[in-house]
């Protein structure tokens, strides 16, 4: 059984893949674990929600650290790379309601799905939000509270709402 510092306990067999040395803190909620793959040495903070979906993939690769109270919505497929740091309160969303004019309430309009990818070695700051269809490149830094609405190239540093590039990290 995976280690927990609190009451969050899951059976390894519940998941599509569950690596070694995975920590689920207390209050972690997991939906559709049969479609969730988690690598080795992953930490998942208190009250985080991993919202898998019945016909999609939510993948968290080796060495990733996830702060408390995060929300990962995997309906449109979500891929998080190796050694990614994710601050408390980060939200990653992979679906949205289509715009069907005023014919019907937005709540009842068609739901569209778009994959989100966060490449290796990136860091998502506290309270940042990543919207459907976004690809965050390798080694990216997303500032606290940023709202990422479009792709971010490798080693960029982005801040704001909507997120904008302010510089590139030194790649030495």
Classify 14-168 by CATH class. mainly beta
- Which position among 5, 32, 73, 97 bears the catalytic label? 97
Q: Where are the domains of the chain?
A: 14-168
Q: What is the pLDDT of residues 125-172, one digit of tens each?
A: 999 999 999 999 999 999 999 999 999 999 999 999 999 999 999 865
Supply the pLDDT for residue 172. Answer: 56
pTM, whole model, 2 decimals?
0.91
Active-site annotation holds for 97: yes
Q: What is the pLDDT of residues 79-94, one digit of tens each?
A: 999 999 999 999 999 9
User: For the sheet containing 29-31, what is the strand order?
Assistant: 29-31, 49-51, 71-73, 91-92, 129-130, 147-148
């Amino acid at each position: 059984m995976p280690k927990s510092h609190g009451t969050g306990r899951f059976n390894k067999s519940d998941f599509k893949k569950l690596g070694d040395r995975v920590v689920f803190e207390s209050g972690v909620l997991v939906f559709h674990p049969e479609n969730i793959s988690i690598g080795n040495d992953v930490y998942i903070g208190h009250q985080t929600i991993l919202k898998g979906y019945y016909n999609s993939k939510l993948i968290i690769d080796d060495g990733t650290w996830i702060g408390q109270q995060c929300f990962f919505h995997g309906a449109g497929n979500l891929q998080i790379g190796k050694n990614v740091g994710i601050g408390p309160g980060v939200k990653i969303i992979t679906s949205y309601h289509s715009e069907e004019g005023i014919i019907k309430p937005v709540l009842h309009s068609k739901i569209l799905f778009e994959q989100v990818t966060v490449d290796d070695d990136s860091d998502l700051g506290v309270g940042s939000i990543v919207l459907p269809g976004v690809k965050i490149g390798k080694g990216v830094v997303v500032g606290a509270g940023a709202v990422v609405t479009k792709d971010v190239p490798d080693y960029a540093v982005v801040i704001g709402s909507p997120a904008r590039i302010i510089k590139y990290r030194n790649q030495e």
